Structure 1
Amino acid sequence: MTPIKFILRYTAVPFMAIVAVVSWASHDASAEIDARQYAALSNAYASFPVELRRDIGQALQSGKLSNWDYSSLVRESLDDGVVLDWPSNDRENVATEREKLTALVKADRL
């Protein structure tokens, strides 16, 4: 086996596989949450402690919440003793639910 074949077989191919998995995972974590997740945050917003409300406002500064942001906020809410309950009916419009949460955050800042 030549050194080039060895490098390609045992180093380059596994490295490319790792790069592909990491790029897929980072893309998936940066995707926007769905309407039911926005609705769950909006419905429970009044019961959140001040720190969690501030963290939601900071996460919304980009205009949207990613899956990564949402999972962090859910962990923080569980640490604070607040459980998020997804609404039973399907919320189809992400923009409407995002605006509801944004309005709550803006009203809280005033």
Structure 2
Amino acid sequence: MTPVKFILRYTAVPLMAIIAVVLWASLHASVEIDARQYASLSEAYASFPVDLRRDIADAMKSGKLSKWDYSSLVRHSLDDGIVLDWPPEDKADVTRERARLVALVNADRL
């Protein structure tokens, strides 16, 4: 086996697989959350402490919440003793639920 084949087989291919998995995971985590997740944040927003509200406002600066942002907000809410509950009815309109959360965040800033 030549050194080039050895490097390609035992180094380059596994390294490319690792890079592909990391890219897929980062793209998957940057996708916007769904309507039920926005609704759960909106419904519990009034019971959040000030620092968690500030974190939500910071995360909403781009106008949308990613799955990465949502998971950190859920962990923060659990640390504060607040459990988010998804609404019982089917929420399918992401735009409406996002606008509802944005309105709560904007009203809190005033």
| TM tier relative to shorter chain | over 0.9
Question: Which whole-Å CA distance do the structure 2 matches of 1:6 and 1:89 have between them?
Answer: 57
Letter of the structure 2 residue corresponding to residue 31 of structure 1: V
Give the distance between the partners of 1:35 and 1:2, measured in 2 at CA: 55
Q: What residue number does 1:73 align with?
A: 73
* TM-score normalised by structure 1 residue count: 0.99
- For 1:92 and 1:22, locate their aligned partners in 2 and report how far apart those are by CA, in whole Å: 30
Offset of residue 89 of structure 1: 1.0
Deviations along 1:53-91, one digit per CA (max 9) or x if unpaired, are 000000000000000000000000000011101001110
Q: Name the counterpart of 1:27.
A: 27
Q: Which residue of 2 is the match for residue 54 of structure 1? A: 54
The aligned length equals 110
TM-score of the aligned structures, taking structure 2 as reference length: 0.99
Give, in whole Å, the separation in 2 of the partners of 1:3 and 1:94.
54
Unaligned runs of 5+ in 1: none
Look up the match of 1:2.
2
Instruction: State the alpha-carbon separation in 1 of the partners of residues 99 and 13 from structure 2.
Output: 45
- 1:7-52 per-position Cα deviation (integer Å, ceiling 9, x unaligned): 0000000010001000000000000000000000000000000000
Aligned to 1:33, the other structure's residue is in SS state coil
Distance 2:83 2:7 in 1: 51
Q: Percent identity?
A: 75
Q: Which residue of 2 aligns with 1:44?
A: 44
